[in-house]
């Protein structure tokens, strides 16, 4: 899992409504997001975001616009009156899974190198 150090903006599509959210962490299996919109547990939603991997060797691997189907696993109201949602990816393509795995691995390496420097 990668804890997002700088805000990663995401869009959540629930039915015909699209809302803003901020990713808090990202893993190969899902993500945690913070939003002002409460979405019930077990809801199927679409999450759109752009992931950047500055350490990729090829230019075409440096960023990816993603639109993934997810299921809400948990939803709770924070002290700040925002909703923290945990969503798991469902039906994600093998290529997108590989990109996310590479992104998380490289971000974790970069984070650990910065801690020891």
pLDDT of residue 107: 67
Structure tokens at 54: 């500055």
22-37 pLDDT, tens digit per residue, is 999 888 899 999 999 9
pTM of the model: 0.79
- CATH 2.40.10.220, domain 2-116, yes or no: yes
Length, in residues, of the chain: 117
Which is more confident, 105 or 34? Answer: 34
78-92 pLDDT, tens digit per residue, is 999 999 999 999 988
The mean of the pLDDT values for the chain is: 82
pLDDT of residue 63: 74
pLDDT (average), residues 3-25: 83
Place of tokens 């979405």: 39
């Amino acid at each position: 899992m990668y804890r997002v150090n700088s805000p990663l903006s995401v869009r959540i599509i629930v039915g015909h409504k699209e809302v803003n959210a901020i990713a808090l962490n990202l893993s190969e299996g899902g993500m945690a997001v913070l939003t002002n919109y409460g979405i019930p547990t077990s809801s199927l939603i679409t999450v759109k975001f752009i992931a950047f991997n500055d350490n990729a060797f090829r230019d075409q691997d440096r960023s990816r616009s993603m639109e993934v189907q997810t299921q809400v696993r948990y939803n709770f109201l924070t002290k700040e009156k925002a909703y923290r949602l945990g969503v798991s990816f469902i039906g994600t393509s093998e290529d997108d899974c590989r990109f996310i795995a590479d992104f998380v691995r490289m971000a974790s390496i970069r984070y650990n190198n910065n801690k020891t420097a």
